[in-house]
């Protein structure tokens, strides 16, 4: 029992389904051995052997699972602050896009950047996440839109995992939008770039999941279906950006392919919710993009609840529609803008975020889970979603290491 210890505190939010909200355990203890949780319960129920172990008592604090940001585009070149300023000085988004700005300006900057620059630019964002107790992040490609540039983004994401104590799950988003060299030839872009690049990236071990943007300004469902078939042939899970600006039936399509998640979904209707429920597809809600784009159509939270679709919450960290690196602010926004409860918000960045990434080994405090924990200076779990702009993290415990 060399590397076995006990963490104690006055409250554990286990995020397991128990009679208590948040799966709360008062005066709780977590026995950790070799990076895994061995036992969770009340301190008064610790076995004699466990009671004799080294103990770290966090006193009057709250322990939650380490947080998970299950949807980010944190690797990219340049930034879009200038466009933000232009828009607020009266230039329209369309005018900016016609002048080569918008998402294409990020594609240009990403293609120009070296892998070292991409990593260096992303690390402060990753560090901001770590400072808020995040232990797992997803990072998408999708600003390269050409083979080498997409591979560069995915390699940068893998390098980040080697440079920081954080788990990184990579998602290949070659089907983010069609680059200018394929203008008007979306189908050819999928055939000639998206699918061949997926094969090369997969062969290099760079892809954990495959995503696509289903939208009038991006790809149609039948085009993404080809990408999903290619992913399935490689044994890779899929997810989708769907129903963000309009309803093209993207979530239904993704559910029919057994997608892990459908993300954004402001314009999702009941049939799509039902399809997701039947397929076990998680809803990923991205209030940072809703806020930045000043969207008014809210995702169908009540229908998702009624049909038992698990709801995750993420930052969507990207330079255009969600320049957000705070998972705590995403939680707050999910409550204030979408009317989720603080309990749903916390489940959304822990157990349901894990589910959106296909990870069964994290996201709750339970025996067998990874010992990724966050210790907070708060007296009740609702404070995590309630505060705006205060970081109450006391300590992050990653793989059992405080
Ligand atoms: N939805 C979004 O909101 C971002 N990508 C996507 O599929 C936009 C990305 C950008 O504007 O750079
Ligand atoms: Fe996104």
Model pLDDT for residues 191-203, shown as the tens digit of each residue: 999 999 999 999 9
Strand partners, 285: 313
The count of residues in the chain is 402
In 95-166 the beta strands, taken as DSSP E runs, fall at: 134-140
pLDDT band at 402 (very low <50, low <70, confident <90, very high): confident
Say how many Å lie between the CA of residue 320 and the centre of ligand 1. 6
**276 and 261 Cβ atoms separated by less than 8 Å:** no
CA distances from 361 to 36, 136, 367 (A): 9, 12, 10
> Atom of ligand 1 at shortest distance to CA of 322?
3
What pLDDT sits at residue 19?
Answer: 84
pLDDT band at 95 (very low <50, low <70, confident <90, very high): confident
Say how many Å lie between the CA of residue 128 and the centre of ligand 2. 19
Residue nearest to ligand 1 atom 10, measured at CA: 320
Say how many Å lie between the CA of residue 243 and the centre of ligand 1. 13
| Per-residue pLDDT reduced to its tens digit, 56-79 | 999 999 999 999 999 999 999 999
Pocket test for ligand 1, best of 103, 144, 246, 317 (most atoms within 8 A of CB): 103
Q: What angle do CA 23, 25, 27 make, to 5 degrees?
A: 165
d(Cα 182, Cα 192) in Å, to the nearest integer? 10
Helix/strand number for the chain, H first, E second: 17, 15
| Per-residue pLDDT reduced to its tens digit, 306-357 | 999 999 999 999 999 999 999 999 999 999 999 999 999 999 999 999 999 9
Burial class (CB in 10 A: 0-12, 13-18, 19+), 355: buried
The secondary structure of residue 89, as a DSSP letter, is T
Is 1's pLDDT higher than 60? Answer: no
Phi then psi for residue 45, to 5 deg, are -100, 5
> Atom of ligand 1 at shortest distance to CA of 76?
12
What pLDDT sits at residue 229?
Answer: 98
d(Cα 289, Cα 316) in Å, to the nearest integer? 7
Is 13's pLDDT higher than 60? Answer: yes
Phi then psi for residue 8, to 5 deg, are -125, 150
| CA 115 centroid distance within chain | 22
Over the range 100-127, which residues count as b (16 or more CB within 10 Å of their CB) and which as e?
A: ebbbbbbbbbbbebeeeebbebbbebbe
> Atom of ligand 1 at shortest distance to CA of 103?
12
- The finding on whether 139 has its CB within 6 A of some atom of ligand 1 is no
Ligand with minimal distance to 261 CA? 2
Q: Is residue 400 classed as helix, strand or coil in its secondary structure?
A: coil
Counting residues of the chain whose pLDDT is more than 70, the rounded percentage is 100
Say how many Å lie between the CA of residue 321 and the centre of ligand 1. 6
- The finding on whether 107 has its CB within 6 A of some atom of ligand 1 is no
- The finding on whether 320 has its CB within 6 A of some atom of ligand 1 is yes
Say how many Å lie between the CA of residue 291 and the centre of ligand 2. 14
* Average pLDDT of the segment spanning 94-118: 91
Ligand with minimal distance to 245 CA? 1
Question: What H or E segment, with its residue span, contains residue 381?
Answer: none
- The finding on whether 103 has its CB within 6 A of some atom of ligand 1 is yes
Pocket test for ligand 1, best of 71, 72, 73 (most atoms within 8 A of CB): 73
d(Cα 212, Cα 301) in Å, to the nearest integer? 23
Sheet with 209-214, strands from edge to edge, namely 67-69, 134-140, 167-175, 209-214, 239-242, 261-264, 282-285, 311-313
Contacts (Cβ under 8 Å, ≥6 apart) of 350: 15, 64, 65, 67, 68, 363, 364
> Atom of ligand 1 at shortest distance to CA of 320?
11
d(Cα 165, Cα 350) in Å, to the nearest integer? 18
* Average pLDDT of the segment spanning 301-305: 98
Residue nearest to ligand 1 atom 8, measured at CA: 321
* Average pLDDT of the segment spanning 25-52: 97
User: Taking Cα atoms as reference points, which of 363, 365, 354, 346 lies closest to residue 30?
Assistant: 365
pLDDT band at 92 (very low <50, low <70, confident <90, very high): confident
Say how many Å lie between the CA of residue 160 and the centre of ligand 2. 19
- The finding on whether 241 has its CB within 6 A of some atom of ligand 1 is yes
d(Cα 365, Cα 377) in Å, to the nearest integer? 18
Ligand with minimal distance to 292 CA? 1
**Beta strands at 62-65 and 4-13: parallel, antiparallel or unpaired:** parallel
* Average pLDDT of the segment spanning 291-314: 97
Is 29's pLDDT higher than 90? Answer: yes
| Per-residue pLDDT reduced to its tens digit, 264-281 | 999 999 999 999 999 999
> Atom of ligand 1 at shortest distance to CA of 218?
7
Is 2's pLDDT higher than 80? Answer: no
Average pLDDT value over all residues in the chain? 96
d(Cα 106, Cα 79) in Å, to the nearest integer? 7
What pLDDT sits at residue 97?
Answer: 78
Is 5's pLDDT higher than 90? Answer: yes
Which ranges of 210-296 would DSSP assign to H, the alpha helix? 221-233, 250-256, 270-279, 287-292
* Average pLDDT of the segment spanning 112-123: 98
Ligand with minimal distance to 291 CA? 1
In 14-99 the beta strands, taken as DSSP E runs, fall at: 24-33, 36-42, 55-57, 62-65, 67-69
């Amino acid at each position: 029992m060399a590397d076995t210890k006990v963490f104690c505190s006055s409250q554990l939010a286990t995020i397991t389904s128990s009679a208590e909200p948040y799966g709360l355990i008062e005066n709780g203890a977590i026995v950790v051995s070799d990076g895994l949780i061995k036992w969770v319960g009340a301190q008064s129920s610790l076995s004699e052997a466990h009671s004799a172990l080294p103990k770290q008592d966090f006193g009057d604090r709250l322990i939650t699972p380490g947080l998970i940001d299950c949807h980010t585009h944190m690797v990219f070149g340049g930034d879009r602050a200038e466009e933000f300023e232009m828009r607020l000085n009266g230039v329209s988004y369309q005018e900016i896009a016609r002048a080569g700005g918008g998402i294409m300006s990020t594609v240009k900057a990403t293609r120009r950047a070296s892998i070292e620059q991409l990593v260096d630019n992303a690390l402060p964002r990753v560090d901001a996440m770590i400072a808020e107790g995040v232990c797992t992040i997803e990072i998408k490609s999708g600003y390269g839109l050409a083979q080498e540039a997409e591979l560069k983004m995915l390699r940068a994401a893998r390098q980040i995992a080697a440079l920081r104590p954080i788990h990184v799950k990579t998602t290949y988003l070659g089907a983010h939008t069609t680059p200018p060299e394929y203008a008007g030839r979306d189908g050819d872009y999928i055939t000639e770039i998206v699918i061949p690049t997926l094969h090369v990236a997969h062969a290099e071990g760079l892809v954990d999941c495959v995503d696509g943007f289903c939208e009038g300004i991006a790809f149609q469902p039948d085009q993404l279906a080809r990408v999903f078939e290619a992913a399935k042939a490689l044994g890779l899970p899929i997810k989708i950006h769907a129903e963000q600006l309009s309803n093209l039936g993207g979530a239904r399509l993704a559910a029919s392919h057994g997608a892990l998640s459908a993300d954004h979904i402001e314009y999702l209707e009941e049939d799509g919710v039902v399809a997701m429920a039947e397929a076990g597809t998680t809803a990923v809600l991205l209030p940072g993009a809703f806020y930045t784009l000043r969207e008014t159509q809210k995702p169908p939270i009540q229908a998702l609840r009624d049909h038992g679709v698990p709801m995750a919450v993420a930052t969507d960290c990207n330079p255009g529609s969600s320049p957000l690196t705070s998972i705590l602010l995403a939680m707050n926004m999910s409550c204030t803008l979408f009317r989720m409860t603080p309990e749903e918000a916390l489940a959304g960045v822990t157990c349901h975020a894990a589910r959106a990434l296909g990870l069964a080994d994290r996201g709750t405090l339970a025996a067998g889970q990874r010992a990724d924990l966050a210790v907070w200076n708060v007296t009740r779990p609702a404070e995590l979603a309630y505060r705006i702009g205060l970081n109450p993290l006391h300590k992050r415990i990653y793989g059992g290491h405080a």
